[in-house]
């Protein structure tokens, strides 16, 4: 069992996010008969702030407990039941708000599991549009699918946001300040962060993946992950010089107290990978050759899910060829 899980984590499965195996991606390896179930491990990050880490390196979730109720961050239909159970074990307070980092399947499909408490679902207008449009189509396809990997969709419904904002939204709730900021399009059509100044934490969604290769950020078969935009977004966040002790990643383990070093590493990842790729393009390599020969630079050699990098190289190749290096 253990080896089956490891095999899945390290290569057989494609990204659960945007997991959407599409015609444009590397042909999927044969699916296992029973899809491995991610375990969501609970970790306290700061007073009242908790993160749930996916044991398979799929999407994380987080929640914040206040005297007036619980604020929840991200929901994957495959694991949000575990998030709900963890909240119930931690507090008797009800869920009051849910927000999502971006509108991908592994972050935005699981709000249905929170329905008992009728939380208010907050999103950006772009995220809301995506959830009504292409993400709703993908949800319906997965619900109709007999693929065991999509079994969680069978009984679930896609919940649409109640409130949508553009730019930024600040919520004073339960004695804390929740600052939601639409950061732009580094990984998806609308990447949002959540900063809680009193707790010195910032939730990054997939703008930060720790010890794991980032995903392509697929939406309607367009891949939004873009190193240039991603670096710009990270620079803008770092320029704010916020007093943040811990940045909570969308995938991978949380590094409590590491602070801005996590964002610097994510930025370096893009610069180094892009440099490597540019050299190969200039040497006349085809995308197939680059996928086969690409050597992950030393600093990132221990990152999990190398299959995600192999996928990412395709949109990166086209971005570099079409737009130039343009750092």
Joined tokens for residue 162:
């109640």
C-alpha dist (Å) from residue 316 to 65, 88, 287, 312: 39, 42, 10, 6
- Residue carrying the six token digits 């499909």: 109
Q: Smaller CB distance to Zn ion: residue 61 or 314?
A: 61
| CA distances to 8, 43, 210, 233 from 261, in Å | 29, 20, 11, 15
CB of 184 to Zn ion, least distance (A): 17
Separation CA 138–CA 219 (nearest Å) = 9
State the virtual CA torsion across 276, 301, 219, 230 in degrees, nearest 10.
Answer: -60
Q: Work out how close the CB of 207 gets to Zn ion at its nearest, in angstroms, rounded to a whole number.
A: 10
Is 295 in a helix, a strand, or coil? coil
What residues does 163 pair with on adjacent strands? 122
Nearer to Zn ion, 104 or 277 (CB): 104
Contact positions vs Zn ion (CB under 5 A): 17, 59, 106, 206
Tell the smallest beta-carbon distance from residue 211 to Zn ion (Å).
14
* Spatial contact of 100 and 187, defined as CB atoms under 8 Å apart: no
Q: How far is the CB of 204 from Zn ion (least distance, A)?
A: 11
Shortest distance (Å) from residue 218 CB to Zn ion:
10
Residue nearest to Zn ion (CB): 17
Query: Least separation, in Å, of the C-beta of 213 and Zn ion?
Result: 11
Which of 106/262 has CB closer to Zn ion? 106
Q: Nearer to Zn ion by C-beta: 56 or 320?
A: 56
CA atoms of 17 and 205, how far apart (whole Å): 12
Q: Which is nearer to Zn ion, 138 or 206 (CB)?
A: 206
- How many beta carbons lie within 10 A of that of residue 30, not counting itself? 6
In the complex with Zn ion, the residue whose CB is nearer, 174 or 224, is: 224
Classify 148 as helix, strand or coil.
helix
CB-nearer residue toward Zn ion: 81 or 218: 218
At residue 287's C-alpha, the angle toward residues 281 and 291, to 5°, is 105
Least spacing, CB of residue 252 vs Zn ion, in Å: 10
Name the token pair of 65. Answer: 């407990």
């Amino acid at each position: 069992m253990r080896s089956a899980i490891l095999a899945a984590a390290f290569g057989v499965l494609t990204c659960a996010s945007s997991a959407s195996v599409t015609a444009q991606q590397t042909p999927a390896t044969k699916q296992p008969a029973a899809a491995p179930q991610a375990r969501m491990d609970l970790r306290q990050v700061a007073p009242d702030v908790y993160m749930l880490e996916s044991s398979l390196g799929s999407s994380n979730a987080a929640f914040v407990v206040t005297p007036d109720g619980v604020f929840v961050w991200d929901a994957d239909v495959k694991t949000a039941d575990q998030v709900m159970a963890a909240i119930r074990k931690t507090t008797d307070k009800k869920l009051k708000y849910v927000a999502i980092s971006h509108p991908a399947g592994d972050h935005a499909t699981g709000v249905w599991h929170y329905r008992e408490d009728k939380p208010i679902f907050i999103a950006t207008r772009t995220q809301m549009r995506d959830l009504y449009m292409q993400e709703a189509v993908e949800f319906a396809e997965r619900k109709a699918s007999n693929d065991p990997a999509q079994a969680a969709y069978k009984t679930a419904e896609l919940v649409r946001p109640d409130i949508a904002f553009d730019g930024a939204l600040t919520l004073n709730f339960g004695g804390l300040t929740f600052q939601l900021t639409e950061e732009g399009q580094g990984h998806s059509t609308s990447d949002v962060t959540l900063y809680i100044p009193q707790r010195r934490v910032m939730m990054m969604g997939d703008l930060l993946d720790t010890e794991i290769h980032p995903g392509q950020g697929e939406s309607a078969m367009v891949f939004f992950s873009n190193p240039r935009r991603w670096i710009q977004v990270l620079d803008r966040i770092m320029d704010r010089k916020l007093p943040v002790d811990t940045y909570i990643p969308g995938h991978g383990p949380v590094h409590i107290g590491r602070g801005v070093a996590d964002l610097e590493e994510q930025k370096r990842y893009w610069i180094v990978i892009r440099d490597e790729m540019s050299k190969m393009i200039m040497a006349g390599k085809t995308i197939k050759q680059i996928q086969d020969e690409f050597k992950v630079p030393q600093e990132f050699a221990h990152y999990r899910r190398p299959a995600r990098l192999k996928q990412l190289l395709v949109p990166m190749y086209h971005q570099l060829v079409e737009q130039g290096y343009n750092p």
